[in-house]
Amino acid sequence: MEGYKAVFANSDLFNGFINSVKYTVIGTLYSVITVYITAYPLSRKDLPGRKWISIFFIITMYFGGGLIPTYLVVRDTGLLNNMWALFLPGGVGMGNVIIVRNFFENNIPKELMEAAEIDGADNFTVFLKVVVPLSRSIMAVIVVFSMVAFWNDWFTALIYLQKEQYPFPLVLRGILITTEAMSNMTGGLGYAEANRLTELVKFASMIVAAAPMLIIYPFVQKYFEQGFMTGAVKG
Amino acid sequence: MSNPVPAANAAATAKKSQKHGKTLGKRIAENWQLYLLLVIPVVITLIYKYIPMYGVQIAFRDYKPARGFFGSKWVGWEWFERFFTAPNFKRMIVNTIKLSVFSLLWSFPVPIILSLAINQMRFKRYKRVVQTVMYAPHFISIMVVCGMIRIFLSPYGGLINLLIGQQIDFMTVPEAFRTIYIASGIWQDAGWGTIIYLATLSAVDPGLYEAAKIDGASMFQRILNIDVPELIPMIILQLIMAASGIMSVGFEKVFLLQTQLNRVTSDVIAVYVYEQGIVDHAYSYSTAIGLFNTVINIILLIVVNQIAKKAADVSFV
Amino acid sequence: MKAKTKASYGLSDKTSDIILVVVTTIIMLIIAYPLYYVVVASVSDPYDVYAGKTFLLPS
């Protein structure tokens, strides 16, 4: 197990790990909230202008500014070297919005919502007290997909963040590419020992990078398979 | 302008009143909370999706940060000309297309075949297990996958070299690049790709299988005559989507697998866009290349979509 | 169209089932192996890994 101990003893890797946890947790929160507040209004057939608002969002799935224009906007909004550059440029995650919207439309019984409205509930209450609790299974899917996306992401971090803010995969890359022994860990050791430890850390950190997501996804496997099922049938 | 509500003329308003029993104005007012929920998403989308679209125009301008998108000097096709006459232009286009096409050729059939096989499995518990294992590589970061590739291909004891008794550094061999890229792509995404096909197959009426069995059809025949036709529309749909992405080979994996020595085959457009734009700060030039790429993708999408419409009555748009 | 009688589960069905299980198991092992290899490598002596001694079990 010494490879794993060394991974967390290494300050760069440890920082990277903490950063990844931070970005994943906050990013997933951001993702779930934005997906839900976008999907719910769009799922209400009685909302005036629903079609146009949907088009407004859906266009962004097919057309975009491209790498550089987006980068420039991020820079101009002061988000360089800021964690939020990892979340905001992705917009509201339209793929997820559509999945959740379809779920709301097809899996939340209208009678329940109507009953709540008759009891005097306003839109917010219906959303929070009826729709959200009933959508646990799809929320689990969105949570897992978001976590995976943020935990594994390295490219946005590469272009928008500084070295100290790098998430784990990016630190991992630095380690994998260097072939010499890593001096900040192996100061007191002989050459052979240092090399040995470096190689061990390479393997261990790859597992550290991959393990969290591998452990989580089986728990929601049933749900995302179902999600695709409805997607395929409805087209 | 954040909430584009269609201007309602008298007839439409009357129609909608009939449909919903209330005037448009009243319905908008009633649903104010829903609009409130939408404010943040709309603002985020406007700033980070639509403004960059507006910024694409710098492909035709000499962008200077001080002058902004609209204020920078107009230079027309200059950047595009520079791109078309770049020394590695032909190499980049060829590499991008070859990588995409071969990738498609080799990896497209795999999820289909896998899903046909899995769909026939009768032991539900084991089927679940197989599927779980199949999905695993999809959840592994591309960074880790490339790390694994380097380890397996390492000249000093990587598994592949040990098996063949050599010490070849595959990462520096241009001819190997494509194979590495495609093979690892199949490993990572074939299992995940079965989801959509299995979902499509689940719509088959089990009675059909029973009837076929009674008629004496073997499993292989059942697959051929029941499952395959069921999958064809989805296959074509997936093919359309894949074909339209031919020119946009993903940046991430190529960037990670690229070395100085294999650039002959690994030099692709997406990486060039990154290098020129982010690394060398040639913002306008990079944007122009990206725009070129996007336009080609759109054209391809439309063309392939039309072909599919005519040939098989399946279309994406 | 509902079949009134269940089709019998004959020998050829049994063989296809077995072949199916064998094939999917092999595929499953191929998919899982690279990950397994790295896990094993992360708890073994790196020199053993590079000598090829750890392709099944850790050292």
The string of DSSP letters for B254-277 reads: HHHH--GGGHHHH--HHHHHHIII
Q: How far is CA B139 from CA B88, B131, B143, C56, in A?
A: 35, 13, 11, 24
Query: Angle at which helices B109-119 and B174-201 pack, to 10 degrees?
Result: 40
- Picking from A123, A213, A229, the residue whose alpha carbon sits closest to that of residue B234 is A229
pLDDT of residue A148: 92
Asked if A38's CB is within 8 angstroms of B38's CB, the reply is yes
Cβ(B146)–Cβ(A235) below 8 Å: no
Task: For residues B182 and A62, give the distance between their C-alpha atoms in angstroms, rounded to a whole number.
Answer: 26
Token representation of residue C49: 């890994």
Nearest to A156 by CA among A148, A164, A166, A146: A166
Of A132, A71, A21, A68, the C-alpha closest to B288 is A68
Residue C44 lies in a domain: yes
Residue of A60, A65, A172 lying closest to B56 (CB–CB): A65
- For the record, the structure tokens of B207 come out as 């009675």
Q: Write the pLDDT tens digit of every residue in C9-51.
A: 666 677 878 888 898 999 999 999 999 988 888 888 888 877 7
Contact B211 C28 (CB under 8 A): no
**Do the domain assignments include residue C57?**
no
pLDDT, greater one: B48 or B10: B48
Token pair listed for C47: 């020199």
DSSP letter string over B224-237? IIIIHHHHHHHHHH
Burial class (CB in 10 A: 0-12, 13-18, 19+), A229: middle
B281: left (phi over 0), alpha (psi -120 to 50) or beta: left
Between chains, do A204 and C47 touch, taking CB under 8 Å as contact? no
Please state the rounded mean pLDDT for residues B161-183: 85
HSE toward the beta carbon, residue A61, CA cutoff 13 A: 12
Contact by Cβ (8 Å): B76, A86: no
- In this complex, do A233 and B142 lie within 8 Å of one another by their Cβ atoms? no
pLDDT in the model for residue B112 = 92
| CB spacing of C49 vs A199 below 8 angstroms | yes
Q: What is the pLDDT of residues B205-241, one digit of tens each?
A: 888 888 887 887 777 777 788 888 888 888 888 888 8
* B210–C7 CB contact, under 8 Å: yes
Per-residue pLDDT, A1 = 75
8 Å CB contact of B157 and C52: yes
List CB contacts (< 8 A) between C27 and chain B.
Answer: 114, 130, 134
SS3 B88: coil
Contact criterion met (CB < 8 Å) for C46 and A4: no
Contact B58, A69 (CB under 8 A): yes
- Please name which of B242, B234, B194 lies closest in space to residue A225, comparing C-alpha atoms: B194
Chain B residues in contact with C13 (beta carbon < 8 A): 213, 219
ipTM of the complex: 0.86
Q: Which residues of B touch C12 (CB under 8 A)?
A: 218-219
To which H or E segment does residue B61 belong? strand B61-62
CA angle, B33 then B38 then B44, to 5°: 150
What DSSP string describes B9-32? Answer: PHHHHHHHHHHHSS-HHHHHHHTH
pLDDT (mean) for B56-83: 88
Q: CB atoms < 10 A from the CB of B12, how many?
A: 12
pLDDT at C3: 43
Å between A172 CA and nearest CA of chain C: 14
pLDDT for the residue C11: 65
For A50-91, how does the pLDDT look when each residue is reduced to its tens digit (9 = 90+)?
A: 899 999 998 888 887 788 999 999 999 999 999 999 999 988
Residue B114: its chain C contacts at CB < 8 A? 27
Q: For residue A39, which of A82, A99, A84, A126 has the smallest C-alpha distance?
A: A99
Q: Note whether B128 contacts C: Cβ–Cβ < 8 A.
A: no
Burial of B268-289, coded b for 16+ CB within 10 Å and e otherwise, reads bbbbbbbebbbeeebbbbbbbb
**What CATH number labels B84-141+168-312?**
1.10.3720.10
β-strand partners of B61? B74
The pLDDT of residue B294 is 87
Nearest chain A alpha carbon to C35: A207
Residues B222-233 as b or e (16 or more Cβ within 10 Å = b): bbeebbeebbee
Tell me the sheet residues that pair with B62: B73
| Residues of chain A found within 8 Å of residue C45, distances taken between Cβ atoms | 196
Q: Does B247 have pLDDT greater than 90?
A: no
Q: How far apart are CA A99 and CA A223, in angstroms?
A: 12
By C-alpha distance, the chain B residue nearest A208 is: B144
Inspect the interface and report whether the beta carbons of B33 and A123 lie closer than 8 Å: yes
Query: What is chain A's Cα-based Rg?
Result: 22
Residue C41 forms part of a structural domain? yes
Tokens of A138: 């799809």
């398979």: which residue's tokens? A225
Cα dist. A185→A12, A167, B225, B260 in Å?
10, 19, 62, 29
Quick one: pLDDT band at residue B64, thresholds 50, 70, 90?
A: confident
Homologous superfamily (CATH) for A2-234: MetI-like (1.10.3720.10)
Give the separation between CA B86 and CA B76, rounded to whole angstroms: 17
pLDDT tens digits along B96-142: 888 888 998 999 999 999 998 888 888 888 888 999 999 999 999 99
Yes or no: say if B222 and B122 are a contact pair by the CB < 8 Å rule.
no
Of the CA atoms within 13 Å of residue B194, those in its CB half-sphere come to 24
Interface test with C, best of B219, B220, B221, B224 (most C CBs within 10 A): B219
Which distant-in-sequence residues (6+ apart) come within 8 Å of B9 by Cβ? none
CA pair distance B141, A24, nearest whole angstrom: 14
- How large a percentage of chain A has pLDDT more than 70? 91
A190 has a pLDDT exceeding 90: no
Assign A200 to helix, strand or coil: helix
Q: Given C41, C42, C47, which is nearest A196 (Cβ)?
A: C47
Pairing of strands B61-62, B73-74: antiparallel
Q: Is the Cβ pair B120, C37 closer than 8 Å?
A: no
Q: CB contact, 8 Å: B207 with chain C?
A: yes
Tokens standing for residue A204 = 């261990």
Neighbours of B150 (CB within 10 A): 18
Contact flag A65-B53 (C-beta cutoff 8 Å): yes
B63 to chain A, closest Cα gap in Å = 11
Q: How far is B133 from chain C (nearest CA, A)?
A: 6
**What is the pLDDT averaged over residues A206-219?**
91
Tally of domains in chain C = 1
For residue C34, give its domain range.
11-49
Q: Check C38 against A207: CB less than 8 A apart.
A: yes
CATH 1.10.3720.10 domain span(s) along chain B: 84-141+168-312
A151 and chain B: CB distance < 8 Å anywhere? yes
Q: Rounded to whole angstroms, how far apart are CA atoms B235 and B223?
A: 15
- Domain-located, residue C2: no
Cα–Cα nearest to B276, from B264, B265, B292: B292
Q: What is the DSSP letter of B47?
A: I
B265 near B178, Cβ under 8 Å?
yes
Task: Tell whether C29 is covered by a domain.
Answer: yes
Going from the C-alpha of B237 to that of each of B33, B192, B197, B241, the distances in angstroms are: 38, 17, 11, 6
User: Residues of A with CB below 8 A from C35's CB?
Assistant: 210, 214
